[in-house]
Structure 1
Amino acid sequence: MDRLASFGNDPFDKPPCRGCSSYLVEPYIKCAECGPSPFLLCLQCFTRGYEYKKHQSDHKYEIMTSDFPVLESGWTAQEEMALLEAVMDCGFGNWQDVAYQMRSKTKEECEGHYMKNYINNPLFSSTLLSLRHMDDHLSRTADTAIPFKPTDDPPRPSFDSQLSRDMAGYMPARADFMEEFDNYAEWDLKDIDFVDDDSDILHALKVAVVDIYHSRLKERQRRKKIIRDHGLINLRKFLILERRYPKEVQDLYDVMRRFARVVGPIEHDKFIESHTLEFELRREIHRLQEYRSEGIQSFCGAKVYERVKRTREDERRKRNMLCDVLQYIHDTRACQQWLHKQAAIDAGIAPVVSTISTSGRRSAPPLNLTGLPGTEKLNEREKELCQVVRLVPGAYLEYKQALLNECRRQGGLRLAQARSLIKIDVNKTRKIYDFLIKEGYINKA
C-alpha cells in the first residue's frame, strides 16, 4: 500500500488526468509501462480505454490508492488491514495491545470500530453508504472534466447480447476477455503462503507451483496474441471473408488454420492468397488444355466452343430428365410432383424438394439444412441430396471422405464395399454411392 501511495493525498500535488485533465481522486490508475514521467488516468478515462501516443489500453497498470474509506469515514483501507492484522496477532479482546500496534488509533476507537463493523453489523450497511458518498464525489468531479468524444468510445456490448457472443466475450474498452483461457489457473495458487519455517522440500514445491502458474499465464497471453494478430475476435466477420475463396481453397483454409499460430498474420494470408492464385492458374491451364485437345487455336473459337458445349449439356440434361420421369410414368402422384419441380426450375424459382415415393406410404418431408454445421461446404446438388436422403451435412461429408479415400486406395469402389464402410440404411448408401459416381467424385471398380 505504501508503494502505491507514491503521491500525496492532495489532488493538487499530483499531475492531472491525461485523458480529461481533471484532478485525480483516489483511487486512480497509473500505467506501469509508460515512463519515465507517470501516465495517470482517472477511473472514467480508464474504463473507456483511453489511448494517447505510445500508451495503449492493454498496458499493465497499477491502482494508486492509500487513503479512502471502506467501512466508515475516518478509517482508511490501510488502517482496516492493520486492525485485522493486529487482532489476529494480539487476539480478540486485547484492545490495548491492538491499539499499541495500530499506533494511529486509541483503544476505545479500535474496540468500537471492530464491534460495530465486524461483529454487530454483518450486512455492512455503512459500506453501502460510504460507497454512495464516494460515487457522488466522483460524479461531481467528473462534471468539470472535458467531455469524451463519442467517436473515440469503443463499443461495449452487454454480456448476453449477440455481439458479445460473436466476439467471445471480448471487451474492446479494456482490450481483454470477459472469461480468460484457463480461467481458474489462479485457484491452485490462492492457498500458497511462503513462511520462514517451511522445509526445503515444501519451499521447492511451492516454487514449482508458482512456476507452473507463470507458464499457464504465458500460454494465456500467447493465445490472446494469436487471436488479436489474426483478427479472430469477430468470428462471423472472419467467416464472411473466408467465403470469398473457392470451395477448394476453403478446404485448404480449414486444414491450414491450425498452422496460423506458427507464422504471422501477413505471412499466413500471403500463403492462402498464393494457393488461391495457384488454383486459378491450374483451372485456366486445364481450360486451355481442353481447348487444345479439341483443336481450338483462337479465343474466338473458344467462345463458340463454350456456347456449343453449354447447349450440348442442356440437351443431355433434358434426355436424362426424360429417363428420370419414365420410371414414374405409372405413378400419377409421383409424375405430377416431378413435373411441378421441373416447371419451377424453368421459371427460375427454387423448387421445393420432395421425396418421390412409389409406395402407398406417406413420404417424409425434406430435411431443413438451415443452421446445420457444414452446410456452407456443400454445393447445391449436395444440399439437395442431403435434403432428400435426410442426412445432416456433417455426416455426409464424413461418408464422402471415407468413400473417396477407399476409392483412391483401391483405384475404384463397388457398392458392396461402400455399404461395408457406411453402416447406415442400405438405400441411403446406394443414393450416396450413385450420386458420387454421377458427379465424378469416385469411379466403379
Structure 2
Amino acid sequence: MTESTSSKKKRKRSLETVPVSSPLAARRSGRRDIKVGPKCTCDYCGVDITRTLYFRCAECPNFDLCLSCFSVGVEIYPHRSYHPYRVISYIAEFPFCQGWTAEEEENLLDALLMYGLHNWQLVSEYVRTKSKTKCEQHYHQVYLQGVTAPLPNLDFKTTLTAISMKEQEEPESAQEWKEAEQATKEVSIVKVSPDESSILSGFLPKRKDFDVEYDDNAEATIAELQILEDDTVEERLLKMKLLEIYDLKLQERERKKDAVLRWKMYDVNQVNEDLEKLGNEDSKWMELFFNLGQFLSKEELDTFVQFMKQDMAYRSELVRLLSYRANGISNFKEAEEFERQVVRRVEELEQRLDRIKHSPLYESNQREDIEKKKMKKVSSNRVVASSSTDYKPMTLSTGMKDYDKLSFMEKAFCSAIHFKPSDYFQFQQMVKKLAENKKTKSTSHSPWIVDWPQQR
C-alpha cells in the first residue's frame, strides 16, 4: 500500500517539474498555448492579432484593428474610419535558415511532438505554409544533419528582408504550381460507373438512402420536444399536434422517395439517355404530366400520355368534321375538294396582297396613314393634357345643405365628382329603393349588375 502511494507521488512530482509553457506540457494537456513576442489584440473585438495581419491607426496612439473590424469601418472615439493607417504584418525573428520563420519552426516542432516523425502529411497541415517534403527535408538538414545537431545552429545570421523572402518563396510556389498542373494533366478521364453516377445525385445505393432527404429540417421541430408528467392538457395537445405534423412530413418524404426510386431518377446516365430518346413533342407532353409520376409508374404514365395524345387528335378531327358540316359537306370526296379550294383561295389572297403592297398607291396610302396616326396621337395628347390641367375638384363649403352629415371619405367623393351634399343623399336614397324593389320583385334587375352570357 505504501509503495503504490510513494510511486504516485513520484509521478506527480515528475509531472509538476515540466514547465507549463513547454511543448511537452501542451501535448499532455491537449492544448497549444506557446506564445512568441508581445501579445496584440484588436481594440474593438478583443481578438488576438499577434500572429496575423492587422491595421494600426497613424493618428490614434496604440489603436489596432483586426481585418474583420477594419473592413466594416469600425469607429471608437476618437478614432475615425477615414484616419490614415499602417498595415502591420507578423514578422518572426531569428530564423534558423533562409525561408523558414520562427513561427514555422515552432509549428514544426509542435506538430512533431503531437504526430510523430513519420506523419509528415499531418505535420504539413499543422505548419500550413510548407509541404510535407519541405518539412521532412528541413527537419533532417537542420536538426539531424546540422553542425550543432540535435540543436539548430544559433550562430546563423540572416540578412533577409521581407522583400527578399518573398522573392525566395516565389520560385517554390511556381514550382509547386507546375507540379500540380503536370499531375492534373496525367490524370486520365475515368468513365462514371452506375454506382458513382448514383453517388453524384446524392443517392447511396447500398443504403437505399439519400444524403439530403426531402424536407431535411423536419426533425428540428421535435428535436428538443419532451412530454413531461407535469404538462398541462393544452401543452400535451400542442406537443401531440407537433408529432402529427412531423408524421405527415415523414409520409410525404417516403412518398417522394418511393417515386424517385421507382423512376430511377438517381441514375444520372439513365435520365440523360431517356431525355435524348424523347422527341420535342414527346418531351413537351412529358413535362406537362411529369408531376403525375409521383402517383403512377413509368409504364402507366407513358400509357396515360399516349391516351392524352390520341384524345387531342380526336378532338382536332372532330372540330374539322364540324367545320365541314357547317359548310354543307356530307362526304369525304366533297371534303377533299373543299380543302383544295381553301388552299387555292389562300394562295390567291397572298398573291393579291403582294401585288397591293408593291403598288405605288399602297406606299402613298401607307405614308398618309402614318401621318394621320401621328396627328391623332399629338391631338389626343393635347386633349388629355388640357383636360387634366383644366379639371379641378369642387370646393364644398359648410353652408351647403347636409354638409355636416357627410363623412371625410364622402366629402372627398362629392368634391371629386362635383356632387352637392343634398344631391348625394338623394342619389343614395334612390339606390336603396332600387335595392328594396329587387328583393320584393325577383324579375327586376339592379342597374348596377350586368348579366354576362354564360360560356359553354
TM-score normalised by length of structure 1? 0.31
